Amino acid sequence: MIARPIYAKIYSVKKMTCDGALSEIKKEYSLVKLLSDKNDSLIMQMRHKRTGRDIVLRKYRISVPAYDFLKGFTHKNLPEIYDTYNCEDGQIVLEEFIGGITVAEVLESGRYTVSGALKILNPVCCALEFLHMCGIVHRDIKPENIIVSDTGAVKLIDLNASRIFDSEKTGDTVALGTVGYASPEQFGITQSDLRADIYALGILLNVMLTGKHPSEKLAHGRYGRIVLKCTQIDPSKRYQSIDEFLYNL
């Protein structure tokens, strides 16, 4: 595990706007690379000016409770959340930087073998099992959000679309997720739970093996049957847990 960077003290002692907090952060960190700039989020690779350690800074217009919850936890298949700051107009997250290559980048040059796909899916499932145990549904499992680090560790990243399951709610407050990977319930049919992640795992498995969405080309044999089970419209007809998915995988 990498050492924690030094943070500006602003995070725990003062409330301000995200831009104000970013100004304080930039006194301690310099920008290395802009990773993503969208309407609702900004993601940057930052480097501590004194220690030289890199972190990922995420800025969101709407706070993501899962980041607050996971602060202080460590898991071998998830990036460590160093700190969160809930501003008047959004949230800033300081996260472990992971150098490596995404599954999406690998797929640009070819498909995975079955054994190669399993080497990715097993640790992703390990991360999901932990998140589900914490009541967190990831809701955005896709090749771009899985990194194989320079040391060979598989990490599931980006909790922007995640939600904490609430048994008293009947539907998702906000429809989030990536079209093609998001389950039907993420678009307002019912509340999404851990079975939404099972749905996305089925799509991911198929894409890794065939390079295509299952609606275009289904994986052969038993893996095709696993994909079909995962992607049932009715969540009750899917695998009901990560353990059940792994058992059949």
Q: Which residues are catalytic?
A: 140
- The C-alpha R_g of the chain, in whole angstroms, comes to 19
Looking only at the bridges linking them, the beta strands covering 29-38 and 41-48 are antiparallel
CA distance 23 to 45: 15
Compute how many other C-beta atoms are within 10 angstroms of the C-beta atom of residue 249. Answer: 17
CA dist list (Å): 142 to 17, 45, 92, 104, 124: 31, 21, 23, 8, 11
